[in-house]
Amino acid sequence: MSASKLDPIDRNILRELQDDGRMTNVELARRVGISAPPCLRRVRTLEESGLIRGYHADVNARALGFEVQVFAMVGLHSQAESDLSAFEELCRGWSLVRECHMLNGEIDFILKCVAPDLSTFQTFLTEQLTSAPNVASVKTSLVIRCAKDEPGVPFDVLENRATDQG
């Protein structure tokens, strides 16, 4: 199922689940204005199509002792597809790396990293990241504070697009 084939009920289901993935199917059905059995069928279809990838708790990293958040901008010597894939595979194995995005432009990858303290991050930086095969440069920026952290997508934009196309 593609995003363009979503009807208003499907978009509402996605919006509601993005806001609260723990609600019961009965509550979800009530919120989107349909009965529970078709609501569950729609949710399963959205899951099977890949539009819903999973359900996660929003864990407070700082409350768990992860005081340091760093963005690492990584440049590689080679941008051959096999080298890009090899670096992505390395990132998947590093537990401090929570997000890895390939970019265009001067920087090849940006990594979002969390660590309990600067010493732990520094050890990761010097012993793993900068010494990894094909890594040419790493520039880091320590996060001072976060002004916004919204997961998912802005459903108001999706709704506006659907209305404009319909």
Mean predicted confidence (pLDDT) in 44-55 = 95
| Statement to judge: residues 51 and 91 lie in one domain | no
The answer to whether residue 156 sits within a structural domain is no
Residue 38, pLDDT score: 97
Mean predicted confidence (pLDDT) in 108-117 = 98
| Statement to judge: residues 44 and 66 lie in one domain | no
Nearest to 149 by CA among 23, 52, 61: 61
Check whether 51 has a pLDDT greater than 80: yes
| Statement to judge: residues 34 and 71 lie in one domain | no
Residue 71, pLDDT score: 98
Domain boundary among 57, 77, 99: 57
Domain that holds residue 74: 62-142
Nearest to 91 by CA among 106, 72, 107: 72
The answer to whether residue 13 sits within a structural domain is yes
Is residue 157 very low, low, confident or very high in pLDDT (cuts 50, 70, 90)? confident
CATH of the domain at 129: 3.30.70.920
Angle between the N-to-C axes of helices 8-19 and 36-48, in degrees from 0 to 180, rounded to the nearest 10: 80
The answer to whether residue 1 sits within a structural domain is no
| Statement to judge: residues 47 and 70 lie in one domain | no
| Statement to judge: residues 12 and 74 lie in one domain | no
Mean predicted confidence (pLDDT) in 53-60 = 92
Residue 144, pLDDT score: 96
| Statement to judge: residues 134 and 66 lie in one domain | yes
Q: Which string of b and e fits 38-50 if b means at least 16 CB within 10 Å?
A: ebeebbeebeeee
Identify the bridge partners of residue 140 per DSSP, sorted by sequence position: 72
| Statement to judge: residues 48 and 92 lie in one domain | no
Is residue 127 very low, low, confident or very high in pLDDT (cuts 50, 70, 90)? very high
Residue 155, pLDDT score: 86
- Structural domains in the chain (count): 2
